[in-house]
Structure 1
């Protein structure tokens, strides 16, 4: 019997503390509202400028974090950023797994030396050691799967207009673009019309809810894995797997100080938390603070007097 089976990484996480989020099970019939850009869409942006400013700042914050505090770990990262990346933590665990596999050969309970080795690593028998090795391999594969998923989220984050990004545009231009993105709107430039799908806001939210669910799943996975590692991989002998010679792509030593398995999984836990904050704020602000797009049948929009954004 395997020593431990970790929970499925991608289990659904309850989001009861995000109130009012519309998450349809079936795709609704999509219709479009045609809203004149001037004055109505610009007036809408003016009314909601504080909200769009807040969302834009959160998108900027996420981009900044992905760049330095919690990057994915793709090739070409600067050394300091690489050491904060999910890829770096995976590399450390991979190195440890290679050394763990080599050590398994000496953990034979049929000899005095083998029993001594088992005791050194904290295992009752060779099968328990092998089971932990296999479970740890599964853990690494799950983290690698999460890394692949977050590479897609990184691409989405960098393609979403914030307040400061893209650099080169004015803040007003970026927030105007963001107002279209949040509502999944299309622009008919020839007719000066913004075409807003009936489920435009929900489509935007659904993408960010996917990111949030994955971060929450990653946090839960890290917590459960921490308990496993504390039980099976906390001996000094196991710690040695992570602290022998290993270099990162820049040629520098990965582990100048002693690193434990629990240290690595805590870093991974914090990595997911680093993404979670701004993603939650994007969802929460969009859901609970943003007003509806202009409804030309309502008196509020019948005599719009706007500050045009150039």
Structure 2
């Protein structure tokens, strides 16, 4: 069993950053037998818990599936456990007992970003104002820059999306869910992985089976930026992907938000892209800059995308950014759709 192979500093409670090896019974008690569910992810569910000191509120992720759950457990403990950064959700501990795989994180009071962007009709949801949206965009960019450039090994998150961006009591963002993370030594430019992220945030090159680079996180971040601006999903439905044919990559092209975004950016109409829940209370210059960054990040060719370090400098206003070119694949699909509808 893999738990028996855990490094000693994971097994000994309180060592290396205070990462704790919890007993399963302790986490059952802390969560009141997994009573209050906070959310559901690709590999399991997250529950609210209170540790034995009766003060520390935590989020306990219970992983499902012996095989995939084991992979996710290894990746999560290896990455977050060794890299405690203010921009990443803190891993407090874990449980590896029998078939049980659980991860214990700090509790983020305002939940995940997707709820605030896409579920605004919910009475418990706070509509994010423009300044907070900019704060979130820059915070996530800095977190990814740290993963890519600030660690001993480059860490590629591989699943950047609003569900994996959590917000604290002040709405500062932290990146979560490292179950798909890939490690890349500084002497290498690419790394092979069999993992796939989430449809709608997957970079084109990843679908062809080639070795990946940090630019797949840049692509996912660009898609998230568009959703932060608009307060809506990039597409009205989950987009099916076909790894062999790019012609089936997008459906309902006329409704696919990135097509609208880059077209309106070129036409000088960014204002119409901004979330109507803001009632016009936003900075147009900042919106244009963020939209430009997003459209550069989702370029078809990975070499055309900026690094996360460049993204941070642009969002901070320290580096200029030019108008991004129209996405070749999206442009071709848009023209194809126009030809079909005009017949």
Greater strand share, 1 or 2?
A: 2
Give the TM interval when normalised to the shorter protein.
Answer: under 0.3
Greater helix share, 1 or 2?
A: 1
The structure having more radius of gyration, on CA atoms, is: 1
- Higher normalized contact order (CA 8 Å, seq sep 6+, divided by chain length): 1
